[in-house]
């Protein structure tokens, strides 16, 4: 029997090793593409491409579903041949990933070209990314978020902050170099805490004036220089809604492309039930209020398009499933359900 267990252990270990090796090989291949310019240029001839126009991704509607087409290099060439300087456009693409079979994936913004020609040729439309996140499944959303953030970073870092001279991107788009000063610039993310505040029986959600009508979400704010996550959560809650956090716990993290490129650090924060009176910062927020369990459950079911009432007001609805705020709200519901079971 011991021999059987040993053989089974070896087979399981071998399988885990192979799965791990697939991931390791993939990561190392991506790193090679970032470091080896000639290898990356070669990959552009066999890779796939996500298209953007002024940072809006290209979508196709098939039946009731919205899809993000990945164009082959040949298809890209066919589109770009309708315009001048096709080869130079491919060089503006940025690397955003690859398949397990090492087929690289790039993103390319064609904002300087006629949008209607591309949409007509490919039978689709360029759609604002915020709207796209509501209609796409979770598989495509992270890559589109990464692609938009990287494309935006390149657009805003075309000149050296030290010399004012133009910077040059490498083929993968993983950095920009100022040859006049020798300075190398790398894409960066800004840490943001996003916090679902609760007093056990209710959770607190807010909205800003810029939000779509009816949408509420968790509190969020950028980390200040020198702060750790715990300090940033306590400060943001105190500043925006006038409450003092008693305890907090980390939930998860997510890259988020808005307003530029942020690392969302999601937490749950507990405030005292006896000190739950909201004092809202009206410069930041339009509304902040407590939600009970029933209202949260109904809001999770509600679609933005169905929130408007006959009198013109809007029922509350929450961020899409791809947003980490949605995850925080669902976790709170699960916790409440478990406590009452």
Query: Per-residue pLDDT tens for 15-38?
Result: 544 556 788 999 999 999 999 999
* Nearest residue to 157 (alpha-carbon basis) of 171, 177, 143: 177
How far is the C-alpha of 106 from the C-alpha of 127, rounded, in Å?
Answer: 18
Other CB atoms within 10 A of residue 307 CB: 17
Q: How many CB atoms lie within 10 A of CB 175?
A: 16
Q: How confident is the model at residue 306 (pLDDT cuts 50, 70, 90)?
A: confident
pLDDT of residue 17: 46
Taking only the tens place, the pLDDT of each residue in 96-110 is: 999 989 999 999 999
In this structure, which topology does domain 190-303+313-340 adopt according to CATH?
Nucleoside Triphosphate Pyrophosphohydrolase (3.90.79)
Q: Give the integer Cα–Cα distance in Å for 235 and 226.
A: 13
The pair of structure tokens assigned to 175 is 């950095």
Q: Give the CA angle between residues 255, 261, 262 to the nearest 5°.
A: 55
Q: State how far the Cα of 229 lies from the Cα of 231, in Å rounded to an integer.
A: 5
pLDDT digits (tens, 9 = 90+) for 155-197: 999 999 999 999 999 999 999 999 999 999 999 999 999 999 9
- The residue among 80 and 274 whose pLDDT is bigger is 80
Is the pLDDT at 313 greater than 60? The verdict is: yes
Which residue would you say has higher pLDDT here, 85 or 303? Answer: 303
Fold of 21-155: Nucleoside Triphosphate Pyrophosphohydrolase (3.90.79)
Which pLDDT belongs to residue 6? 52
Do the first three CATH levels of 21-155 and 190-303+313-340 match, i.e. the same topology?
yes
Per-residue confidence (pLDDT) for residue 340, from 0 to 100: 78
Calculate the average pLDDT of the chain: 91
User: Percent of the chain, pLDDT > 70?
Assistant: 93
pLDDT value of position 94: 98
pLDDT over threshold 80, residue 143: yes
- Domain range summary for the chain, segments of one domain joined by +: 21-155, 190-303+313-340
* Per-residue pLDDT, 283: 94
| 319 pLDDT above the threshold of 80 | yes
Q: Are 328 and 196 in contact (CB under 8 A)?
A: yes
pLDDT digits (tens, 9 = 90+) for 205-250: 999 999 999 999 999 999 999 999 999 999 999 999 999 999 999 9
């Amino acid at each position: 029997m011991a021999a059987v267990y040993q053989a089974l252990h070896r087979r399981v270990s071998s399988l885990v090793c192979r799965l791990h090796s697939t991931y390791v090989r993939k990561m190392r291949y991506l790193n090679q593409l970032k470091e080896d310019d000639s290898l990356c240029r070669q990959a552009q001839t066999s890779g796939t491409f996500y298209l953007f126009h002024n940072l809006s991704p290209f979508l196709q509607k098939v039946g009731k579903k919205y899809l993000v087409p990945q164009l082959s290099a040949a298809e890209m060439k066919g589109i770009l041949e309708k315009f001048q300087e096709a080869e130079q456009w491919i060089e503006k693409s940025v690397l955003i990933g690859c398949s397990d079979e090492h087929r690289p994936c790039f993103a390319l913004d064609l904002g300087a070209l006629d949008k209607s020609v591309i949409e007509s040729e490919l039978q689709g439309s360029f759609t604002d990314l915020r709207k796209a996140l509501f209609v796409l499944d979770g598989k495509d959303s992270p890559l589109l978020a990464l692609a938009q953030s990287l494309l935006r970073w390149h657009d805003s870092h075309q000149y050296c902050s030290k010399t004012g001279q133009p910077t040059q991107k490498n083929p993968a788009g993983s950095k920009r170099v100022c040859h006049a000063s020798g300075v190398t610039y790398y894409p960066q993310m800004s840490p943001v805490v996003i916090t679902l505040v609760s007093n056990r029986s209710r959770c607190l959600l807010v909205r800003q004036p810029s939000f779509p009508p009816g949408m509420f979400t968790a509190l969020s704010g950028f980390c200040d220089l020198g702060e750790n996550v715990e300090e940033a959560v306590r400060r943001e809650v105190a500043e925006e809604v006038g409450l003092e956090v008693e305890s907090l716990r980390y939930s998860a993290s997510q890259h988020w492309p808005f307003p530029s490129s942020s690392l969302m650090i999601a937490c749950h924060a507990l405030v005292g039930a006896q000190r739950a009176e909201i004092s809202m910062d009206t410069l930041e927020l339009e509304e902040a209020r407590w939600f009970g369990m029933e209202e949260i459950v109904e809001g999770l079911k509600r679609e933005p398009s169905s929130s408007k009432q006959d009198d013109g007001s809007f029922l509350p609805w929450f961020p899409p499933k791809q947003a980490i705020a949605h995850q925080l709200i669902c976790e709170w519901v699960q916790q409440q359900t478990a406590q009452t079971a």
